[in-house]
Amino acid sequence: MVDVPTFVIDRAKALGGIPHGFFGSSDGAFQFGYGGPGKYAAVHMARADAANAVQAGGRIVAPHQVHSADVITVKEPWEDTAEGRPVADALVTAAPGLVLAIVTADCAPVLLADPEASVVGAAHAGWRGAQGGILENTIKAMEQIGANRSRICAAIGPTIAGPSYEVDEAFRAHFSTDDAAHFSPAPAREGKARWHFDLTAYCAAKLTGAEVSIIEDVARDTYAEAARYYSYRRASQTGQPNYGRQISMIGFE
């Protein structure tokens, strides 16, 4: 008898009863990104099945992500195909039955909700997007459809952790002195200074600055937990020609 793989899902207490989930790879059994390895049909089915696991009968809505600070307010779903999806890095909605989805492979997936207003959001926050305002823009977009930032709760899903995210001087130069708390010293390489960058803490600081007071970190490291998550950095360092993506989803009934 063949064992059928099952989803491995992290959920955040901060999001309470809001249907959501941070899906891992289940030791490589599932790959959720159209740009990643595997057959199109398998990826398409995995995405649809994950949406159904979050909310029975839920319709997946996912953007084509480009590390931008752009947000789409979703009123009607679009087809979940590899080509033709709207370009953005965050989605918000007040429409029941939709399951917002983003894919990641080290960047921070951030799920947000105002349960009282029945407004939810999902954001893909790499360092460029977070620096560019993707999280603040998501909160503003949620407010435009009825949310109140004082009620918004946020969960930061599986992300490359600080100890796994070693960066150089050129990377650090993108940040101001106000961001120094998110860098810690790492051993020098070839006489050149190195640091560890805490992307999760950086995103949390952005949320706090946007007056979101309920923030949860699920505390999962995509780089270190190879059996559970895909990692762009790990794939690059091991010479893999491509890399998978995990998926994070949120909706409401």
Residue with tokens 């080290």: 106
pLDDT at 253 over 90: no
Q: How far apart are alpha carbons 208 and 213 in whole angstroms?
A: 6
Question: Residues 192-217: what's their mean pLDDT?
Answer: 98
Question: Which CATH number is 9-161+198-251 given?
Answer: 3.60.140.10
Q: Say if residues 105 and 244 touch (Cβ distance below 8 Å).
A: yes
For residue 2, what pLDDT is reported? 54
Q: How far apart are alpha carbons 56 and 117 in whole angstroms?
A: 21
Q: Report CA dihedral (208, 210, 211, 212) to the nearest 10 degrees.
A: -60
Cα angle value 49/51/53 (rounded, 5°) = 70
pLDDT band per the 50, 70, 90 thresholds, residue 4 = low
pLDDT at 159 over 70: yes
Q: What is the pLDDT of residues 214-235, one digit of tens each?
A: 999 999 999 999 999 999 999 9
Look up residue 238 and give its amino acid: T
For residue 133, what pLDDT is reported? 98
pLDDT band per the 50, 70, 90 thresholds, residue 7 = very high
Structure-block tokens of residue 119: 């407004």
Structure-block tokens of residue 222: 């995509």
Other Cβ atoms closer than 10 A to 216:
17
pLDDT band per the 50, 70, 90 thresholds, residue 5 = confident
pLDDT band per the 50, 70, 90 thresholds, residue 138 = very high
pLDDT at 97 over 70: yes
How much of the chain exceeds pLDDT 90, in percent?
Answer: 95
Q: How far apart are alpha carbons 134 and 130 in whole angstroms?
A: 5
Question: Residues 105-110: what's their mean pLDDT?
Answer: 99
For residue 53, what pLDDT is reported? 97
pLDDT at 3 over 80: no
What is the overall mean pLDDT for the chain? 97
Measured CA distances, 90 to 70, 86, 101 (Å): 7, 11, 9
pLDDT at 1 over 70: no
For residue 93, what pLDDT is reported? 99
Q: How far apart are alpha carbons 54 and 96 in whole angstroms?
A: 13
Measured CA distances, 34 to 27, 82, 115, 126, 161 (Å): 18, 6, 31, 19, 25
Half-sphere exposure (Cβ direction) of 230: Cα atoms closer than 13 Å: 25
pLDDT at 173 over 80: yes
Q: How far apart are alpha carbons 45 and 120 in whole angstroms?
A: 24
Q: What is the pLDDT of residues 13-48, one digit of tens each?
A: 999 999 999 999 999 999 999 999 999 999 999 999
Question: Residues 119-136: what's their mean pLDDT?
Answer: 99
For residue 199, what pLDDT is reported? 99
Q: Report CA dihedral (12, 14, 20, 25) to the nearest 10 degrees.
A: -20
Global confidence as pTM? 0.97
Break the chain into its structural domains and give their ranges.
Answer: 9-161+198-251
pLDDT at 197 over 60: yes
Q: Which residues contact 183 (CB under 8 A, 6 or more apart)?
A: 167, 172, 175, 195, 196, 197, 198
